[in-house]
């Protein structure tokens, strides 16, 4: 067996279908690109049509199968509509990546019910609803991969975690519940845990050079994360290679969490 054949059997996603939310920018976009380049047909889901179209144009220009769905994941109706539209493109997905999120962090004493509700709707309820829509079908077919993108705030509070930290902690618990329910049927459910990554979601912190340098200094590799740092981990968790990995949180953070 050649190295190429061996690696393809482990990691290639030929014939698989993936739905990736939050895929118009940042980590979600990088993950969508990695899955598409590994062979999956990828449907990218987010709000901004211009950015979605640019993402798909880049991938199709490289010969990948990709399409986009514009959706507001802040409402149940929006999530359900997005799920049906996404499934109609390449068929029912084998891989679901929940990377969409909002990052509203007022001081705890000023945290309103509106901010709480909006945060939970996008960061927690949308992944739950999409899992309910696609997870049982994956289990029936005997293969599935569900990957959630969480946060350091799922494990410890800093830089005003607020509702954001709560939503991400709950999302990791959701992954464990999904793993318990569906892993006996070939569906793994895991989370990717970023450190500080230079993406639009972190624009508030990224605008403070001193804070950016401080966070880089807390890693073991001496730099903050980039969206492309998640490509390999995403392909691993989406592929046959991770068949015995489920209910886990994989930290992609340059060692920040253990330094």
Here the tokens at position 28 are 């979600």
> Taking Cα atoms as reference points, which of 80, 74, 160, 198 lies closest to residue 124?
74
3-state secondary structure of 193: strand
**Which of 6, 164, 185, 244 is an active site residue?**
164
Would you give the end-to-end CA distance of the chain in angstroms?
40
DSSP of 51-112: HHHHHHHHHHHTT--EEEEE--TTSHHHHHHHHHHHHHHHSS-SEEEE---------GGG--
Element (H, E) at 48: none
Cβ contacts of residue 175 below 8 Å, gap of 6+?
A: 146, 148, 189, 190, 191, 247, 249
185 part of the active site = no
Q: Which positions are annotated as active-site residues?
A: 164
């Amino acid at each position: 067996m050649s190295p190429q054949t061996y690696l393809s059997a482990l990691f290639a996603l030929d014939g698989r279908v993936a739905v990736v939310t939050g895929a118009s920018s940042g980590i979600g976009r990088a993950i969508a690109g990695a899955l598409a380049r590994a062979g999956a047909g990828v449907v990218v889901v987010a709000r901004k049509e211009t950015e979605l179209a640019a993402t798909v144009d880049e991938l199709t220009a490289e010969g990948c199968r990709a399409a986009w769905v514009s959706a507001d994941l802040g409402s149940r109706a929006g999530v359900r509509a997005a799920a049906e539209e996404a499934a109609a493109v390449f068929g029912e997905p084998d891989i679901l990546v929940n990377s969409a999120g909002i990052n509203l962090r007022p001081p705890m004493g000023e945290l309103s019910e509106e901010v709480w509700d909006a945060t939970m709707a996008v960061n927690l309820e949308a992944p739950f609803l999409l899992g309910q829509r696609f997870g049982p079908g994956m289990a029936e077919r005997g293969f599935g991969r569900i990957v959630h993108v969480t946060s350091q705030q799922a494990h410890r509070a800093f830089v005003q975690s607020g509702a954001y930290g709560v939503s991400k902690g709950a999302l990791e618990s959701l992954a464990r519940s999904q793993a318990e329910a569906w892993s006996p049927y070939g569906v793994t459910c895991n989370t990717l845990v970023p450190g500080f990554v230079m993406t639009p979601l972190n624009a508030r912190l990224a605008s403070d050079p001193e804070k950016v340098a401080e966070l880089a200094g807390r890693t073991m590799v001496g730099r903050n994360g980039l969206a492309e740092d998640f490509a390999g981990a995403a392909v691993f968790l989406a592929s046959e290679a991770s068949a015995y990995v489920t209910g886990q949180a994989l930290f992609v953070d340059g060692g920040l969490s253990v330094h």
